[in-house]
Amino acid sequence: MDSRKEHVTKKLLSIYILLIFPMRSHTHSLIISILVIFLTAGNVTAQQIPTDNQVKTISSSEKWLKLIHFNKVKKNSDIKDKNFFLATSTTEEINPLKELKATIEALRAPVKIPDEHAQCKFPARYLFIKEQLPLMLHNSPKVTCKKFNSWFKNSDVSSLSLIFATGYLDNPASYYGHLLLKFNNESSAKELNLLDQSLNFGANVPENENPIRYIMYGLTGGYEAVFSDEHFYRHNHSYGEVDLRDMWEYELSLDKKDVDLVIAHSWELIQTQFTYYFLKENCAYRLAELLELVLEEPLFSKSKSLIFPYTIINSLSNHSYKKKPIVNSIRRIPSRHSKFVEKFSALKEELQQAVYKVVTGNYTFDNDRYRSLSNTEKSKVLEVLIDYTEFQSATDKPNTIHKNNKTKILIERISLPPSKSNITYDISSPPHLGQKPSMVRLGLSNNSSNTIISYRPAYYDLLTINHGRINNSKLINLQVDLSVDENRVQLKEARLLDIFTLNLSKTGLPSDGGFGWRVFLGYKSLSNSCSNCKVTLIETGLGKGVQFTPKITGYLFGNLIAVSNNHFTERTTINASLGLLVDISESIKSHINYKKFNSDFSPNIKDESFSLETRFGSSKSWDIRVKATKQDSWQNSISYGYYF
């Protein structure tokens, strides 16, 4: 019997029942009504059950493909863990339609061990199918997922935040910063909740890994990577207290339904294996993918060869969600060092002098400078001193001296009346305001027939607008400078790696700041007028920087240089480097540098060089540079840089 005939038959039977059985009582009426519903309901369900074509359409939808991390180009999934899939035993052949059907079947399966049921292992798939194909789950069991509900805090999460940890020059994997996802409960909007759950993506690197192997494997996909979950206080301790890195919290304005879907998919991804690539398929790439599950527009183009945490933060700052900005608020989470420095800087000069007196006086409080202060002023001084000893504990080897000093401070603090700190940390320079990480530059040198072309995939130099980055430093990878004239193209300079940092003291107190350092590995000319003076060069240096005023910083470095060109009489030498960084305004900054070489380095070049470079412009996307250098002869240039 076809569905239409069955429908007519059931209707006639229902009318017949109503005619021959009069409604003599309430109970009788209820029985008859249930019988009628039973006879007619089957037809409605049959009409609404999705067809094979509808199921196929859903299996090719963007959201389903994102849920199984299907790679449209490779026709497989980026996930390397076969336990993530239900329709195949290998990750090399993923069929979205078969996976959807297998998921529906698993969601409807009888319950044996609740937390092992598909509804508990794949809650995001369950939410998606329940919304798109609700009648396919009509007879599915009701499962209580204790582990997921406990982790999800019974849906107590009200919003999501993307956390950006600033760059860290002591570890190549942290040069460009790091991203985390934080799940905020209701109270997190008002103040930072360290017990919030967070999601991290990182490579599984063996302890004490060889640095060369570490870099090579990170670049070529030699490491597996997984999502992991931890309470946020662990990341706050690792980044803010140990590495002394500021973090920036970008709270997102997603609605509750989308928040729940992202969290449910996060649960599915924990400890699921991916391949890790340092420059692309990294924390920024994977967390952006996760957020794109609920966004209409992508946060980045997958065709890009480089994806940095900044790439995603910058994209978020320009992104909309349901016709409003996706970023609801921005909060800075200062490191232990930043807390100490900003509290110290907020003190009046006489209070700063009191801090110096206590520190240099072996943490005794009987000096006149301290005793002359009011109780409120003493409280401010002691608060800075507590942060200072905490900072020292993080930077120095563990010892009892800092603990004893902190005990002295706390004993002194107890003797004073209670007071409340009202320090407000600076939030004027969030990282998305900095210049974009990749650069191409076009300019003219000396005359219009000599063109300069430069390309730098990453990351910033001493004149770059460095919001959210390390001040007075540079990190350059793989920069290539070409000189083009009418007859030929010449490689002028290639920088495989160029790192420089001053490590300035912000307060003048012991342990704050230290030696600056630099590393250069590349190919360059040591003379503007010598065609045979191009060398492969390794340069390392140590030095000190001094901030003369808030706008002027100076430095003096000693450098050891090794070259591989046999043209020179010596293969190694030393030089001294003297420099000034001058912040004239937000739009103008200059770098002046003078170098003095060992006079026996080469008979073909002079033993000194000078350079002056100035940046004009305050845009994230462009600037103009004017540069003059003297290495045997003068070379002047003007160039336009585009950042992307």
Residue 427 confidence (pLDDT): 80
Instruction: Tell me how far CA of residue 51 lies from CA of 41, 212, 420, in angstroms.
Output: 19, 56, 66
- Token representation of residue 434: 């900095």
Helix (H, G, I), strand (E, B) or coil at 80: coil
Instruction: Tell me how far CA of residue 138 lies from CA of 145, 246, 570, in angstroms.
Output: 19, 50, 82
Q: With helix as H, strand as E and coil as C, how does 149-176 read?
A: HHHCHHHCEEEEEEEEECCCCCCHHHCC
Max Cα-Cα span within the chain: 120
Residue 605 confidence (pLDDT): 67
Give yes or no for a contact between 218 and 206, defined as CB atoms under 8 angstroms apart. Answer: no
Residue 423 confidence (pLDDT): 75
Local confidence band at 568 (pLDDT 50, 70, 90 cut-offs): low
| Rg of the Cα atoms in the chain | 32
The more confidently predicted of residues 289 and 192 is 289
CA distance 509 to 498: 29
- CATH assignment, 153-333: 3.90.1720
Per-residue pLDDT tens digits for 4-32: 444 444 444 444 444 444 444 433 433 43
Residue 448 confidence (pLDDT): 54
Q: What superfamily in CATH does domain 439-643 come from?
A: monomeric porin ompg (2.40.160.40)
Per-residue pLDDT tens digits for 151-162: 987 678 999 999
Break the chain into its structural domains and give their ranges.
Answer: 3-48, 52-151, 153-333, 343-414, 439-643
Average pLDDT, the chain: 88
Q: Output 539-544 pairs: Cβ under 8 A, ≥24 positions apart.
A: 541/517, 541/577, 542/515, 542/516, 542/517, 543/502, 543/515, 543/516, 543/517, 543/518, 543/577, 544/515, 544/516
Over residues 392-420, the mean pLDDT reads: 88
The more confidently predicted of residues 46 and 68 is 68
